[in-house]
Amino acid sequence: MTDCICREPPRRLRLAVNIMANASQIESVSAFDVAAAAARIAGRVRSTPVFRLAPGDLVPATGVVLKLECLQHTGSFKARGAFNAMLASPVPPAGVVTASGGNHGAAVAFAASQLGHRAEIFAAATAPAAKIDRIRGYGGHVFRRGSAYSQAMEACLERALATGARLIHAYDQPETVAGQGTTFREFEEQAPEVDVVLVAVGGGGLLAGALAWYDRRIKVVGVEPESAPTLARALAAGSPVDVEVAGIAVDSLGARRIGAIAFALARERLHASVLVTDEAIRQSQALLWDQLRIMAEPGGATALAALLSGRWRPAPGQRVGVLVCGANLDLSLAPGRNPQS
C-alpha cells in the first residue's frame, strides 16, 4: 500500500468531502416534506398575518397581499427552518452548531433555547453587532471567526466534527428548506386567491421552500439585489457559481453561492428571476414604514421592491403575494432616521 493511500486526508479535504456528501444528499424537498414540517413545528412558530392592500396603498395595482413574516419569532421566517431541523431527529448532547451572524443564527439560538439544546453560532467579523447581540440574547454561544461567511462556515464544520454537534445549515439542508416552505403553505391557506408570489433570495432556502410547496401550482418569482445576484448568475451559468456580494441587504441576502437544493428546484420550477437596485430596496423599506408602519430590514423589503420599482409587473388580473420576510435592522439605519435616506 502506498503512502498516499494510507495517509489521512488533510483537514480541509475532509471538510470539503463532508460538505459534498451533504450536497449529494440534498437532492430535493417535496410538498409532502413541507406538510410534515408544518405538523412538526405547529405551536412553536407564529402564524403570521396577511395584509391585503387597498388600491393606492403602496401600489396602484389591486390584488396585492403581503405576508408579514417579519412578525415571526426572532423577526424572520428563519425560526421555521430552525425548529424543523431540531425536531426532525434527535439532537446530540453537544447540541447544534451553525454559521450565521444574522437571522438564521438568531433563529437557531432561539429554537435551541426553547427546546433545551446548546447552540453555537459561528459568525464572520462582518456580522452586524445588533444581530450578534440578538443571538446572545437568545442564549446562543457566539464565536467570531474569519472575515467572510465561508471562513465562519469552515470553523463551524470543524467544530461539528470535534464535538458531534448537529450542523444546521442556513439554507442548503432539506430540513431547513422544508421548514421555510411552511411559510407558503400557511400563506396559501390565508390567501388562496394569490396566483404569483414574490420571494427574496439569498442562499435560496426560502425560495426552495416556496418552489417545493407550490410545485408550479402557483408561480414563484425570486428577487435579489443587483449587488448580490447569486441566483441570477447561477441560472445564466447553468450551475451554482461564486459571486461577489455587497450592498444594502448583504447581511441577509449575501450568500456567495446559491444552494444546491434551491438551484435544482429553480431550474425546473421558477417563473422569473428579478434583480432590484439597492435604492429600490431602500424605497421599499421607506414606503412600508411611511404608509403602513411596517418596519422591514433590507432583505425583508426586497421582494416588494420588485413590484414597486416596476422591475417585475403582474399580468393583467394577476393576484400577487409578497413576502415581507425580516424585520431585524439596526434602528439607527431605519428609514426616516437617517438624513441621507
Ligand X SMILES: Cc1ncc(COP(=O)(O)O)c(C=O)c1O
* 101 is an interface residue for ligand X by CB under 6 A: no
Q: Which of 110, 104, 82 is nearest to 299 (CA)?
A: 104
Provide the 3-class DSSP secondary structure of residue 80: helix
In terms of Cα–Cα distance, which of 108, 100, 59 is closest to 79? 108
Rule CB under 6 A: is residue 325 a binding residue for ligand X? yes
Give SS3 for 73. Answer: helix
Among 181, 205, 314, 335, binds ligand X (CB under 6 A): 205
List the one residue from 174, 179, 202, 335 that touches ligand X (CB under 6 A): 202
Question: What grid cell was written down for 233?
Answer: 448568475
Binder of ligand X out of 63, 101, 240, 300 (CB under 6 A): 300
Judge whether 122 and 154 are in contact, CB under 8 Å.
no
CB of 19 to ligand X, least distance (A): 17
Grid coordinates representing 14? 475532509
CB 324 to ligand X: min, Å? 9
Cβ proximity to ligand X, 218 vs 253, nearer residue:
253
For residue 200 the three cell numbers come to 427574496
- Residue 299: CB minimum distance to ligand X, A: 4
H helix or E strand, kind and range, residue 132: helix 129-137
Q: Work out whether 200 is an interface residue with ligand X (CB under 6 A).
A: yes
For 277-288, give the DSSP string: -HHHHHHHHHHH
- Collapsing DSSP states into helix, strand and coil, what is residue 198? strand
Chain positions 107 to 136 lying near ligand X, rule: CB under 6 A, are none
Contact residue for ligand X among 48, 74, 182, 252 (CB under 6 A): 252
Separation CA 161–CA 259 (nearest Å):
22
Residues 50-69 within binding reach of ligand X (CB under 6 A): none
Instruction: Determine, following the binding rule CB under 6 A, whether residue 263 of this chain makes contact with ligand X.
Output: no
Residue 80 touches ligand X, criterion: CB under 6 A: no
> For the purposes of burial, counting CB atoms within 10 Å of the CB of 323, is it exposed (0-12), middle (13-18) or buried (19 or more)?
buried
- Give the shortest CB-202-to-ligand X separation in angstroms: 3
Binding of residue 225 to ligand X (CB under 6 A): no
How many angstroms separate the CA atoms of 281 and 300, rounded?
A: 9
**What CA–CA distance (Å, rounded) separates 326 from 320?**
19
Stretch that binds ligand X, among 50-58, 98-106, 113-121, 148-156 (CB under 6 A): 98-106
Is the Cβ of residue 182 or residue 252 nearer to ligand X in the bound state? 252
Exactly one of 95, 101, 102, 240 binds ligand X (CB under 6 A); that residue is: 102
Which residues form the interface with ligand X (CB under 6 A)?
76, 102-104, 171, 200-207, 252-253, 255, 297, 299-300, 325-326
